[in-house]
Amino acid sequence: PITGRTLSRIRPVIAGNWKLNHSPAAATEFLQAFLPRVVDSPAEIVFFPPAITFQAVREALASRGAIDVGVQNVYWEDSGAFTGEISASMAAEAGATHALIGHSERRQLFGETNEHARRKVEAVLAAGLQAILCVGETLEERESNRAEEVVLRQLEVGLAGVAAEGRQALLLAYEPVWAIGTGRTASPDDAAEMHRRIREFLVQKFGKDGRSTPVLYGGSVKPDNAAQLLAADEVGGLLVGGASLDPEQFARICRAACPSDLEKSASREK
Ligand code: PGA
């Protein structure tokens, strides 16, 4: 059995998924307010702005190399007649470091399947970006006791093309669909239970290297529950939607990254 804290806990990843919010001007204003509030956050912060806002975020962050910017989605082809899409290689050239794949809104509103997620994860890794594959069950699936089965299937298919070397650029996000944008959060115990299951899957697939793949929790993360969720077993970071739109709230979440864990890791590195 895999228990205890894994390497992924050392520097929590705090990702802000802006979805279809914040124009270039709004993003610039957001960052002016946000940056002074996170000067000493120990978190690895990543923003996922709308593609059209991406460059404005990069420019506003120019002086803050430590904060990353990713894209919310990519298509798996590099280029061609695919109106409305962007590719992983273009995102990489534009300076993206990460891509979200298989977010539940992509699955539910835009018909993305596990097979689509698989192709996208492969394209993202091939372009040298880090992929954050999102998984999670609906309320109906949870209530019919199929949560674990659904999540494992999403992992199995979504990661089918990832070899042991590829997993270094891989992150996962467990986002129970019933907790997204609803104000209903998984309890730290529920989150930990699924995160442990995901960790087991990763270790089965990648051997002991699977211990260090960060697994983020997402779904109604707020300043008031961030520290508790981050402290849950196997939670290596947070994927934040609604609360990442407000500079003060998101900064509070970034500062919730637990200092005592970092002290532990610092002494381990010595
Ligand atoms: P939420 O969204 O924090 O607004 O629930 C999370 C997400 O969809 O990534």
From 240, 245, 249, 250, mutation site for ligand 1 pocket: most ligand atoms within 8 A of C-beta? 240
Answer yes or no: are the C-beta atoms of 18 and 105 closer than 8 Å.
no
What's the pLDDT at 259? 54
| Strand segments (E) across 176-253 | 215-218, 237-240
Spacing, Cα 53 to ligand 1 middle (Å): 19
Query: Percentage of the chain surpassing pLDDT 70?
Result: 91
238 pocket-lining for ligand 1 (C-beta < 6 Å): no
Spacing, Cα 224 to ligand 1 middle (Å): 15
CA 246 to chain centre: 18
What's the pLDDT at 200? 98
What's the pLDDT at 107? 97
Residue 222 Cα: closest atom of ligand 1: 3
What the block records as the tokens of 192 is 């930990």
Element (H or E) spanning 17, and its range? strand 13-17
Spacing, Cα 135 to ligand 1 middle (Å): 13
What's the pLDDT at 3? 35
Angle made by CA atoms 191, 194, 198, in degrees to the nearest 5:
130
223 pocket-lining for ligand 1 (C-beta < 6 Å): no
225 pocket-lining for ligand 1 (C-beta < 6 Å): no
Q: What is the dihedral of CA 71, 73, 79, 83, to 10 degrees?
A: -120
Residues of the chain with pLDDT under 50: 1-9, 260, 262-270
- Tokens 């494992």 belong to residue: 152
What's the pLDDT at 258? 59
What's the pLDDT at 6? 41
